[in-house]
Structure 1
Amino acid sequence: MLARHRFSQVHRSNGCRSSYSISRAVPLVGLPLALAAMALPAHAEPMPMSDVEQQQPALPPILPLKERAALVDEMLEERLDTLMPAIMREAGIDMWLLMSREYFEEPVLATMLDAESFHARRRTILIFFDPGEGQPIERLTVSHYGLAGLFDPAWLPEEQPDQWQAVADIIESRDPAQIAINFSDSTRFGDGMTLSQYRAMTAALPAHLEERIVSGEGLSVRWLESRTTRELAIYPGIVRIAHAIIGEAFSRKVITPGVTTAEDVQWWYREKLASLGIAPWFHPSVGIQRQGADGMLSGDTIIEPGDLLWTDFGITYLRLNTDTQHLAYVLKPGETEAPEGLREGLRRTNRVGDILTASFHAGESGNAILARAREAALAEGLDPSIYSHPIGFHGHGAGTAIGFWDNQEADPRGEYPVLAGTTWSIEFTNYHEVPEWGGQRVDFRSEEDAWFDGETVRYLDGRQTELTLIPPE
């Protein structure tokens, strides 16, 4: 377990301290999953996590927009009630300020808007204050508009027209030991404070309070990377939606060998999601590996029998993201299964996945986990490349990196610890020389979403262990 990890950067241009400590690495989830699931809508039954992935599963029910909004707000309320006190006390910070202007929302504040607030309004300022002695965290909004009753209004413009002075008065009256704002050299997720807002805020603050400003980067990462019981109850079902759509994409419903191009499948994904009222968080990828062809073919390349297809696909639903890479084989006439060399390639890729997930240790850095997994995989004669990342409110989420496709060595972005209570895209590849293709080196990419409870990595909706087969006709 992690004893202590410290961000030690100093923002030297203005003297603000940037010091955040994690004194313990424990899951920030306290209720059983079944309890969290009880309040879900009747036709959004929770789906248990599973290490076994269904081949081409049925599409789960998609919630109407009104029910989605209600669920988003309930999950946000749970986060504010349970997670916010935990991370502030874990960090030893008694006040945290977040602020954004309309259409320029910083990453953390954007996740705290209720489901009917698509953007900050004018200037939205949120203040969290811990009065100590186990009292509830105060949640204040110094803004013209409320946020679904989740924050207490703390500004009357008719009495104090200056919004910044209203903020300064709140701070001074509570006399916090530390005032966290979001600036960071190390993570984009904790760097939401703009220069103009910093200048306006500090101009209204007494000098002795300005000296107490510290970075909120650690709070930002912990807020974004931590999953709650309600989120975990619905996350497997969200991943199932993505798996079902991939299953349809890799079928004769969408692909006619000799006719359909890789680009056709990409745009089918986009149209399918639009029809469901679900957004992609990136444009889907579809690639083709073919005997005798170099690298990954794409674009207007026509899919033919004998091709190994790859897709990278991710959705955003109920504010949570998925990220999945699957493989399919287009059968040649007379074939009933893929060549053994291709099946062996996927088996070897799954072995790399086993090694990688077994290498997770709570409190260790992403770099340490990468090094251990690579050493073990190479010792078994595998040819891996590992580039896993957190996932949640963002597809490439807050937290540490475990490798990059273009850097398999230690990286500053992998120095932060892997912590319990976080969700991951277990993303990697293994290369294998396929005998049936004349020893051609083939890229067997894999990516599945998973949950790390501090001891074990569990897939949210299984992982691909068999190539999807597409009939030639």
Structure 2
Amino acid sequence: MTNDEEISPEIPAILPMRERAEVINEILADRLDNVLPRLMREQKISMWIVTAREYFESPVISTMLNAESLHARRRTILILFDPGEGQPIERLTVSRYGLGGMFDPAWDPEAQPDQWQAVADLIAERDPANIAINTSDVTAFADGMTLSQFNQFAEALPEKYRSRIVSGENLSIRWLETRTPRELEIYPGILRVAHGIIAEAFSRKVITPGVTTAEDVVWWYRQKVNDLGLKAWFQPSIAIQRPGGDGMMEGDVVIQPGDLLWTDFGITYLRLNTDTQHLAYVLKPGETEAPEALRAGIRQANQVQDALLSSYVAGASGNEVLAAARAKALAAGLDPSIYTHPLGYHGHAAGTAIGFWDNQNGDPRGEYPVHPGTTWSIELAAYDQLPGWGDQRVEFRLEENAYFDGEKVTFLDGRQTELKLIPSD
């Protein structure tokens, strides 16, 4: 990890599929052996039941499948049981298909054709103090138990155990948001891939001023990611700001010298996601650097980043971090907007929100605490009215990915501090 940016990084080599699977399975085995027991005991959960139906995976179960199990098959039910006294967590699968040795098969359909009755029998044999299922009014990350599955589960369950059912909301979030040392070893390299793709997008290899449109660059991204054997987890964005222009212009608008360009781009690789926003300037003929007003704008966005990074406190809610960061930025004379979110197995990942672009006053989704050992998309903007741009409010949006260790926030692969420059001739 580093806080220093490389202006035009090369795209690292991408692993072939077999080696990707080896990395994914290595990380999953480590998480199941080490992260899962710690979190179940932290949350005081005796048994955790995670379910999914084919083509309808829950966010949690998709992170527990081995690399060769691309999807849940038919109905996949995982039972995670803590026998106590420091013993290993028992990992069972009540499913017709194996899961790469990560879970022990625990159902013989010939002996017990009713899958939910098999689950109920396993529960009765273990007599857990409580049974967590994934249901939540707040977050989709912990709401994987559908009503039909719950009804079938409850009907099969002996009456004495129904009162022991609890929500697995916090356990689900903690499982998804917690990063391991091995994940942190590879995450900077994943982000370097994304940074390398952005550097190529913001170059004369892709953009010919006066010819290339914003939409052309968007589809270049999609093709590039596909050619590398990766996935974009959202449609990339390119927008143009220019004096007299109509805000953030997208689509078939042609890129011209003197334009301020913005991109929002993210990939999925080795099950981890990136989410990055960078800025570029198209040099006018004879220019060798961007106008000072634009360079000052990106410095202001960096100042908003500094205000936010210095406001992270383990145990504080996302709303508390937001309020502290905004107070610092406003006191420095900045015009900030902060809408930072967790990052990891999902782009907009499990954990607390630190602001929304349309709500800077706190939100129920920001009441969850910030935990150490988590990764973040530091997403925000600074606004300014620039000389020569009339009354136009120019947006300097930046987004970089970072890790919070409980004491400080460190960028995974640096942050942008200078505009990328695209020659016009």
| Structure-2-length-normalised TM-score | 0.99
Q: Which amino acid aligns with 1:219?
A: L
Q: Which amino acid aligns with 1:55?
A: I
Which segments of 5 or more consecutive residues in structure 2 lack a partner in the other structure?
A: none
1:188-216 per-residue CA deviation (whole Å, 9 max, x = no partner) reads 11110011110111111110001100000
Work out whether residues 287 and 309 of structure 1, in 8 Å CA contact, stay in contact via their aligned partners in 2. yes
Work out whether residues 96 and 128 of structure 1, in 8 Å CA contact, stay in contact via their aligned partners in 2. yes
Deviation at 1:471, TM superposition (A): 0.2
Match of 1:280 among 225, 232, 241: 232
Which residue of 1 is the match for residue 424 of structure 2? 472
Quick check: 1:210 aligned with 2:162?
yes
1:88-141 per-residue CA deviation (whole Å, 9 max, x = no partner) reads 000011100011110010110011111111111111000000000000000000
Which residue of 1 is the match for residue 263 of structure 2? 311
The 2-side partners of 1:441 and 1:199 are apart by 54
Which segments of 5 or more consecutive residues in structure 1 lack a partner in the other structure?
A: 1-48
Deviation at 1:293, TM superposition (A): 1.2
Work out whether residues 338 and 360 of structure 2, in 8 Å CA contact, stay in contact via their aligned partners in 1. yes
1:39-188 aligned at under 5 Å gives the runs: 49-188=1-140
Deviation at 1:437, TM superposition (A): 3.0
Work out whether residues 260 and 303 of structure 1, in 8 Å CA contact, stay in contact via their aligned partners in 2. yes
The 1-side partners of 2:138 and 2:64 are apart by 22
The 1-side partners of 2:107 and 2:389 are apart by 70
Match of 2:206 among 214, 234, 254: 254
1:258-310 per-residue CA deviation (whole Å, 9 max, x = no partner) reads 00000000000000001000000000000000011131011000000000000
Question: Greater shift after overlay, 196-205 or 303-312?
Answer: 196-205
Deviation at 1:436, TM superposition (A): 4.0
Question: Greater shift after overlay, 437-446 or 112-121?
Answer: 437-446
Match of 1:326 among 274, 278, 292: 278
1:224-263 aligned at under 5 Å gives the runs: 224-263=176-215
The 2-side partners of 1:439 and 1:201 are apart by 61
The 2-side partners of 1:218 and 1:101 are apart by 22
Work out whether residues 390 and 400 of structure 1, in 8 Å CA contact, stay in contact via their aligned partners in 2. yes
SS for the counterpart of 1:107 is coil
The 1-side partners of 2:323 and 2:203 are apart by 38
Quick check: 1:441 aligned with 2:403?
no
Deviation at 1:438, TM superposition (A): 4.1
- Percent same amino acid at aligned positions? 69
The 1-side partners of 2:69 and 2:16 are apart by 17
Deviation at 1:187, TM superposition (A): 1.0
Which residue of 2 is the match for residue 17 of structure 1? none
Quick check: 1:410 aligned with 2:362?
yes
Which residue of 2 is the match for residue 19 of structure 1? none
SS for the counterpart of 1:372 is helix
Deviation at 1:413, TM superposition (A): 0.4
| Structure-1-length-normalised TM-score | 0.89
1:240-274 per-residue CA deviation (whole Å, 9 max, x = no partner) reads 00000000000000000000000000000000001
Q: How many residues align?
A: 425
SS for the counterpart of 2:208 is coil
The 2-side partners of 1:465 and 1:471 are apart by 19
Question: Greater shift after overlay, 433-442 or 337-346?
Answer: 433-442
Deviation at 1:228, TM superposition (A): 0.6
Deviation at 1:434, TM superposition (A): 1.5
The 1-side partners of 2:246 and 2:325 are apart by 28
The 2-side partners of 1:415 and 1:441 are apart by 31
Work out whether residues 48 and 80 of structure 2, in 8 Å CA contact, stay in contact via their aligned partners in 1. yes
Work out whether residues 247 and 392 of structure 2, in 8 Å CA contact, stay in contact via their aligned partners in 1. no
Segments ≥4 residues shifted beyond 6 Å: none
Q: Which amino acid aligns with 2:139?
A: T
CA RMSD of aligned residues (A): 0.7
Q: Which amino acid aligns with 1:274?
A: N
